[in-house]
Structure 1
Amino acid sequence: MDDKGLLCLLLGLIILCSLLTGMSEAEETHVFSSSGENVALPCINALSNCTSTTWNYNKHRSSGTVELIAGGLKKKNIERAERLSLGSDCSLNIYKITEEDHGLYICLQYVNGQKHGTDEPIFLHVLHVYPSSTQTKMRSGSSVTLTCQLFSYEDSCSLVRPDDLQLFWVNQADVNLHEDSRYQKLSSGQCIRTLTTTFQNEDNNTKWRCLVKKKNENKTSASYTVKFTKPTKTDTVTAVTTINTERRTTLNSPVTAIQHSQGT
């Protein structure tokens, strides 16, 4: 083979590799959502009426495959069956998702027992914030640690490519809180962001959001709303009881008793 033929062969291989790489990226879909939301996972290779559709699920490579939908019908003997349904376009609907729903979902088509078309892998990433905004005793002067975590297949965000993914806390004006000296940034990995701060009076009824961006495009967010707890009657009674106890202790002290004796 001459130099010109070798050059053509190399160029052909380069073009083929780029085409295969492009196909691989197109076939792989990433869906981002937050805890409590409803999500619909698309079945790109679906056939008409969905009777050929099968949905499989994997949380980890080692956890084994769970069949969620077979022949267009939902499996009833599986966990979270009540939160799953099949859409008219063969998409998989998941209601009120939790962090436990993250993982790899694959839509398959079987015609007369034979696999039809290619697999369509979908990676579901679930954002979860804790503690919840319903925690008690939230008052000015108390501290809180805010944590948001993106749960992904194999418990790793590397599938999304680290350079493409951003995860950070913002305030109501979308200002990055990790750059504010008021908030102490704790060490965290790519899939988790943690802040610690002390509540101030103006924080009441404010909302902080954990934001996920991919290639500078907003994908999903989860919020933490600050609502200060009002003093209850129990708190008032406790304060009065403490004051009365202190007064009784003073009246019964040895010094008081001596002064009373000298007066008589």
Structure 2
Amino acid sequence: MMGAENLMGLVVAALLLPGVGGAEHTLFHYAPVGDDVTLPCGDVPRRDCSSVSWSFYKGGDVRYTQEVLRGTVSEKSDKASRLSVSSNCSLRVRDLRAGDAGSYLCDQHGDGGTQINVYLSLLSISSPSRVTDLTPGGNLVLSCFLFSYYNAGMCKGYSSLGFSLSWLDEDGAALQNNSRYELIQGSSCNVTLAVRLQQEDNNRKWRCQMHSSTENHVMTLLDFRSTFVFQSPVSDPTVSPSSPEPPAAQLPISRIVLCAALPVMIVIVAVFTWRTDRKRGREFAKAIEFQEIK
């Protein structure tokens, strides 16, 4: 049996769908993943925000959470550490993540039931390519998604907003299908780029652009940089191809000391041996002379 919270989420989500009544004012906001965003609550008569609450709704899995209650961030929110309420009661969300995409409802209690519903969509780039693929002759695959109220790459309910995703080079020129680039359009909010890499693509930026023709020509950009980690060393053309002369051999100090001391040691041993043999010869001669006297 469906729980009360899920049932409430279904009812509220149905009321919040684009084109369906419920919120007095509906806004659409776009931002890249990782950025910070401020969601407006409109004109709040009392600046202490004690009459303001913020709720979050997620389509698809129909999720509902209370983010701010009576002007204070809820400790039960999984975004609590990244949320704050500004002096004009706007909701500040830091370090945006894909799961933050959805509908944020600002409810001004006791002020005529004024509500502001902000649909937050987030732009994200992902790549299945490995680091070892980022090399001349390798293949780079980049997927650009718009995480919306419904899900990643799902444009349901957004077709009337007139927005699209496209891939640009770092100079802002739109990329087209050719022998080097392949564009795969999954939907207006899901487009994949496949690139056959060349040497000049090292440290090059690839840009995904979200453009809306109806929302005051809103445009959001997100970049990906292809950096070659594994490369063959490039030879310096200024260096002569001939082999350089080997450096002069240098003996270590210990060998120099040994070479200098060895002859001295040989002379000392020779002198000592000569003196010893001479002494023994004298003693032997005396012994023989003593025997003859006897």
Post-superposition Cα deviations, 1:82-135, rounded to whole Å, max 9, x if no partner, equal: 011111111111001011100011000113xxx633221110000000129994
| Counterpart-to-counterpart distance in 2, 1:203 and 1:72 | 49
1:198–1:34 Cα change, 3 Å: same
**Which structure is richer in relative contact order (CA contacts within 8 A, separation 6 or more)?**
1
Cα deviation code 1:64-91 (max 9, x no counterpart): 4211000000101221210111111111
Tell me what 1:206 maps to: 204
What is the match of residue 256 of structure 1? none
| Displacement of 1:46 | 2.4
Larger mean Cα displacement after TM superposition, 130-139 or 97-106: 130-139
Partner SS, residue 188 of structure 1: strand
Q: Give, in angstroms, the shift of residue 47 of structure 1.
A: 3.0
Label 1:108 to 1:69 Cα distance change in 2 as closer, same or farther (>3 A).
same
Residues 162 and 136 of structure 1: CA distance in aligned 2, closer, same or farther (over 3 Å): farther
Give how far 1:178 is off: 3.2
Contact conserved, 2:155 with 2:188, CA < 8 A, in 1?
A: yes
CA contact (8 A) 1:35 1:96 kept: yes
Task: List alignment gaps of at least 5 residues for structure 1.
Answer: 1-20, 233-264
TM-score (norm 2): 0.64
> Could you tell me the percent identity over the aligned residues?
27
> Are positions 1:30 and 2:28 aligned together?
yes
Q: Given the alignment, which residue of 131, 134, 138 partners 2:127?
A: 131
Instruction: Render the CA deviation track for 1:26-68: whole Å, top value 9, x for unaligned.
Output: 8210000001000000001423211111000101165242110
For structure 2, the 5+ residue unaligned runs are: 1-18, 233-294
**What root-mean-square deviation, in Å, do the aligned CA atoms of Structure 1 and Structure 2 show?**
2.8
Q: TM-score, normalised by structure 1?
A: 0.71
CA contact (8 A) 1:57 1:105 kept: yes
- Hey, what's the Cα distance between the residues in 2 that align with 1:97 and 1:169? 22
Q: Which residue of 2 aligns with 1:219?
A: 219
Q: CA deviation at 1:137?
A: 5.1
Q: Which residue identity lines up with residue 146 of structure 2 in the other structure?
A: L
Moved over 4 A (4+): 23-26, 132-137
| SS of aligned partner of 1:116 | coil
Q: Which amino acid aligns with 2:175?
A: L
Structure 2: distance between partners of 1:131 and 1:121: 33
Aligned residues: 209
